[in-house]
Structure 1
Amino acid sequence: MSRSHVLVPLDGSPLADDALVHALDTFDCRVTVLNVVTPLDASMSESGVLEPGEERRESARERADDLVDRAEKRAAAADRSVETAVETGDPAETILDFVGDRDVDHVVMGGHGGERHELARRLLGTVATTVVTEAPVTVTVVR
């Protein structure tokens, strides 16, 4: 089946970078890279665990912009282009919403180890597990 729009969620990990390379090498269609900035609750900042709200948001946004810029450069090096998006929210929910709202017909993402007491999460990671389980489209997990 030919694809027309592939989504690659990026989180800065090596496996996410591998997922982008895989998508660019495999699919000759529109590719969108998405970084999801996760909002943190205020109590984490207030207790000193994280930077105060505005500084943390700015830092997270700069990191997101850097990730999508790197993805554009990686695509250009492969003589391709990618569309980019930065969204804020729960990563799994935001990816699933993006798929539904933007006519995505395939997701390629990195898998990560998660909680040790659940085999699926250990093999894929919590975000990847949720996307694989709930996405209405094919999901390729790069490990």
Structure 2
Amino acid sequence: MLPSHVLVPLDGSPLADEALQHALAAFDCRVTVLNIVTPLDAGMSEGGILEPDESRQADARERADQLIKTAKAEAAAADRSVETTVETGDPASAIVDYAEQHTVDHIVMGGHGGERGELARRLLGTVATAVLGEAPVTVTVVR
């Protein structure tokens, strides 16, 4: 069954950009681009090292806005359009929550390696591994 709504989480990495290109080429349906701004006090952020301040929060939001702008331009270059949203929170949880709450029936995302630990985490990345385990819909991981 072909999806009617595809979610593409973007984090600025080359694999995430490839995931967007794949989704635009493979699926002729509604595509939503999601960027997650991680709170500075979260475990994956710099909050463990630096105190959160408004300047760093504004920088994170500006980076998210730039990623969204770039995604819209990439979609336009492919003669497509995308819906966009920016959420705040833990990336894996935010992706799964968004999919559950917005009639998403397919997630296309980049996989990231480099994390030490279990083999799947090393091959796919911690966020992709968590989404694969928790998502209520089909997940395509672009490598």
TM-score range, shorter chain: over 0.9
Give the superposition deviation at 1:52.
4.2
For 2:89 and 2:51, the matched residues in 1 are separated by: 18
**C-alpha distance in 2 between matches for 1:106 and 1:30:** 11
One-letter code of the match for 1:135? A
Partner of 1:138: 138
Q: Is the 8 A contact 2:41 2:52 kept in 1?
A: no
Q: Which moved more, 1:51-60 or 1:14-23?
A: 51-60
How far apart, in 2, do the equivalents of 1:50 and 1:23 lie?
36
User: For 1:140, what is the secondary structure of its paired residue?
Assistant: strand
The equivalent of 2:70 in structure 1 is 70
Tell me what 2:94 maps to.
Answer: 94
Gaps of 5+ in 1: none
User: CA–CA distance in 1 between the matches of 2:84 and 2:34?
Assistant: 6
Q: Residues 1-143 of structure 1: matches in 2 within 5 Å?
A: 1-41=1-41, 49-50=49-50, 52-143=52-143
Amino acid in the other structure paired with 2:62: E
Give the counterpart letter for 1:70 in structure 2: T
Post-superposition CA distance 1:60-103 (Å, at most 9, x none):
00000000100000000000000000000000000000000000
TM-score, normalised on structure 1?
Answer: 0.93
Divergent runs of 4+, >4 A:
none
- Report the TM-score, using the length of structure 2 for normalisation: 0.93
Distance 2:50 2:9 in 1: 24
Count of matched residue positions in the alignment of Structure 1 and Structure 2: 140
CA distance in 2, matches of 1:34, 1:20: 11
